Structure 1
Amino acid sequence: MILTVTPNPSLDRTYEVPALERGAVLRATADRVDPGGKGVNVSRAVAAAGVRTTAVLPLGGTPGALLAELLTAQGVDVTAVSIAGQTRSNISLAEPDGTLTKINAAGPELTPEESALILETVRTRSGGATWIACCGSLPRGLRPEWYADLVTRAHEAGARIALDTSGPALLAALPARPDVIKPNTCELAAAVDRPLATLADAVKAAEELRDRGAGAVLASLGADGQLLVCAEGAFHGTAPVSRVRSNVGAGDASLAGFLIAQGAGPRALASALAHGAAAVQLPGSAMPTPRDLRPEAVHVTRDLPLDLPLSDMSEAR
């Protein structure tokens, strides 16, 4: 069972538009509403693969109730922590060429009591979990060390921890020794406070984060594939994509694929690549099912192209 924790979940509304024109009245050619938040997406992808998953979520108001309803319909076991504020709603505008414009709301401010209740809920629900995925930005009211506290408590319960966050929250959590972290190119560069021009730079940055406490680093490099630096060594992989329809949740699908494949080594990296490549070819934040995957097209190597220029330095959370 894979348990996910998303301290700042959302409803994701995606509108497909012919072109984004500032100040104009735009008519959507298609639209959809999906449960949102990085950990939420991990649970959705895990459930789509037929693996049991529980999502621990602070939920409030009508948006929170709808989010729980949508997740339950997708086979995710929802453990809701009731909060006074309203769950946020995010908006994405998707253009035919794959360009995506996102508007992310700040979300509610959590009280100290609500923060403590989330941590206690994770503790009580973590029995039997093989992995706990802690994902996304921290909402207002939670200090940067909150994820570090969660990692420590989860380890005490005997679970392995996958952490997908950035900035001060990521740096504060490293001494707690998360088993795997999943930055994108920009987040990896920010964590070591320098630009990353080549794959060799990314490998060095990942090794530094391992020295600071991360068990393994699974880095999304956008169009340049994915990088895994772990105790077994460094691996790089790519997967072909015929058409990018939406990259919302693609990194989360990758993390789900990694954890489904036991969360270690080149086999797990290959699964991450297959899930990520499938996700970007789906609308909105739809998560891939096994029939969407093309594992035979994935290429993973230990012979790293270290001089590969990193092209995607604009990916945002």
Structure 2
Amino acid sequence: MARILTLTLNPALDLAIRTGPLRLGEVNRTESTRLDPAGKGINVARVLAGLGHEVTVSGLLGADNETAFVRLFTERGLRDAFIRVPGETRINAKLSEPDGRVTDLNGPGPRIPAEALEALSQRLESLLTGLDAVVISGSLPPNVTPEQLAGLVRAVWARQVRVWLDTSGAALVAGLAARPSAVKPNEKELADWAGHPLETSEARLRAALRLNAEGIEDVIVSAGAEGVLWVRGGEALAATSPRVSVVSTVGAGDTLVAGMLHGVLSGWPRERGLRFATALAAESVRHVGVGDPGASDFEQLQQRTEVRSLSVDALPGGTHG
């Protein structure tokens, strides 16, 4: 299997809360609560390790509440290369209601000393030897700039290691300018980058093709219940997820990234990789946490995942409008 590094600059302890329908301004009773070490890159790493890859996790981690993270890394067989910073890693609250709606209350994260960022850059140099891929995921701490994120993308590319990016806002814009090998925006993040609403599948396809034409090899767009779009080399595939009961969508996008990268690194045909990753993301929303390829019905989920080719030439108004 492959050797992979995930970078999480702003990890979090995720407080997952299941409730009945929320009544704002009133007392609400919880059905369940759990606190898990998380962050997008850590979620990706958990899935990839479960698929048999050798995974190193790095980034910036608060020293004052690291215990749950260290325990997770040990339990999941993840190599811990995080730089510790003063203070606590943030806590994010995820409120899940019976209809599947999830409300995120995300903290900003700690301020990062300049010496910690320098230490991360130096550690990255030592970690890149022999890697097959790097995944950079998640938001930025308050005083880490989008340009610094782009610098990390360029540093990985300078060593000729493929780099996958999953972030949003200004960080996504700056990261895209550094030309990662792959990017995984959701439909809103893609629209924010494009500068206008993308309300149809055709509009999302045009935007993805623009990124592809600008030098990003793999563009993967997650659109919730509308499925997943994958553009490579000017050719497009779309997947429709199987219908499942939704408990929590937290971690579904990270599961999709891990599943897609697994298929690419395994050399699978594109249809097989997209079907696998889409089904794995669907499996993940049935419970709190990331997708489990060992689920008893995972083969059935793959069989119920529809993958089809899209005709790029038939797009009205051209492919890059």
CA distance in 1, matches of 2:35, 2:311: 40
Q: What is the rounded CA distance, in whole Å, between the counterparts of 2:76 and 2:29 in structure 1?
A: 29
Would you say the 8 A contact 1:57–1:78 is kept in 2?
no
| Partner of residue 299, structure 1 | 306
Residues 84-99 of structure 1 aligned to structure 2 (within 5 Å):
84-99=86-101
Unaligned segments of structure 2, at least 5 residues: 316-321
Aligned pairs (5 A) from 1:21-60? 21-60=23-62
Q: Distance in 1 between matches of 2:140 and 2:310?
A: 37
**Mapping of 1:74-223 within 5 angstroms?**
74-223=76-225
- 1:42-93 CA distance string (max 9 Å, x none): 0011122232211103112333232222232223222120111311111111
Residue of structure 2 aligned with 1:252, choices 251, 254, 275: 254
1:304 and 1:18 mapped to 2: Cα distance? 43
User: How far, CA to CA, are the matches of 1:42 and 1:94 in structure 2?
Assistant: 21
| Matched letter for residue 16 of structure 2 | T
1:303 Cα deviation after fit: 3.5
Quick one: distance in 2 between partners of 1:169 and 1:102?
19
1:179 Cα shift? 0.6
Correspondence 1:275 to 2:277: no
Alpha carbons 1:63, 1:88 under 8 Å: kept: no
1:178: Cα distance to partner?
A: 0.6
Deviation at 1:191, TM superposition (A): 0.6
Alignment check: 8 A CA contact 1:219 1:226 kept: yes
Report the Cα distance in structure 2 between the residues aligned to 1:20 and 1:181, rounded to whole angstroms.
34
Deviation at 1:257, TM superposition (A): 0.2
| CA distance, structure 1, for counterparts of residue 287 and residue 234 of structure 2 | 33
Cα distance in structure 1, aligned partners of 2:178 and 2:70? 30
Q: State the secondary structure of the residue aligned to 1:206.
A: helix
Cα deviation, 1:110-150, whole Å, max 9, x if unaligned, reads: 12211122222222112222110000111112111122211
Displacement of 1:266 after TM fit? 3.0
Q: Percent identity among equivalent residues?
A: 35
Task: Tell which deviates more after alignment, 16-25 or 172-181.
Answer: 16-25
For residue 294 of structure 2, the aligned residue among 270, 290, 302 is 290
Contact 1:175 1:213 in 2 (8 A): no
| Equivalent pair of 1:282/1:288 in contact (CA under 8 Å) | no
Cα root mean square deviation, aligned:
2.0
After superposition, what is the alpha-carbon deviation per residue over 1:231-279, rounded to whole angstroms, capped at 9, x for unaligned?
A: 1611111121321110001000000000111258333222220121111
SS at structure 2 position matched to 1:21: coil
Moved over 6 A (4+): none
Q: What is the TM-score with the length of structure 1 in the denominator?
A: 0.90
Q: TM-score, normalised by structure 2?
A: 0.89
Give CA-to-partner distance per residue, 1:262-307, whole Å, 9 cap, x none: 2583332222201211111112x34423326322222111145989
Code of the aligned partner of 2:285 = V
| Distance (Å, rounded) in 2 between the aligned partners of 1:258 and 1:86 | 32
**In 2: Cα distance, 1:198 partner to 1:304 partner:** 15
Q: What CA distance in whole angstroms lies between the structure 2 residues aligned with 1:72 and 1:173?
A: 31
CA 217–286 in structure 1, closer or farther in 2 if over 3 Å, else same? closer
Per mean C-alpha deviation after superposition, the further-off stretch among 143-152 and 266-275 is 266-275
Name the residue aligned to 1:266.
Answer: 271
What are the ranges of 5 or more consecutive residues in structure 1 without an aligned counterpart?
308-317
Moved more, 264-273 or 46-55: 264-273
The one-letter code of the counterpart of 1:19 is: P
Find the aligned partners of 1:289 and 1:75 in 2 and give their Cα distance: 17
Bigger relative contact order, structure 1 or 2, given CA contacts below 8 A and separation 6+? 1
